[in-house]
Amino acid sequence: IEHMVPRSELELEKRRVAKWKRRADEQPSVLTATTRMSVHWKINWSQATAASGT
């Protein structure tokens, strides 16, 4: 029950990640690839938990 994230919270997270990704695209750096990887991992993980929660 602890891992169940409210839909609104998930939307907020998605929006924040999108903004973060846009910023990373605007100023590419050495960390960009790593950052993008961790962002993808985080998104995949939250989707997996959301799916298993239903």
Question: Could you report the per-residue pLDDT of 1-53, keeping only the tens digit for each?
Answer: 566 767 888 888 899 888 888 876 676 665 666 777 777 778 787 887 777 76
Provide φ and ψ at 6, rounded to 5°: -60, 145
Quick check: is 41 in a domain? Answer: yes
pLDDT of the residue at 49: 77
Quick check: is 46 in a domain? Answer: yes
Q: By CB neighbour count within 10 A (0-12 exposed, 13-18 middle, 19+ buried), where does 24 fall?
A: middle
Report how many domains make up the chain.
Answer: 1
For residue 15, the enclosing domain spans 7-52
Quick check: is 23 in a domain? Answer: yes
Quick check: is 1 in a domain? Answer: no
Quick check: is 38 in a domain? Answer: yes
pLDDT of the residue at 48: 79
pLDDT of the residue at 25: 67
Quick check: is 21 in a domain? Answer: yes
Quick check: is 48 in a domain? Answer: yes
Q: Is the pTM of this model over 0.85?
A: no
Quick check: is 18 in a domain? Answer: yes
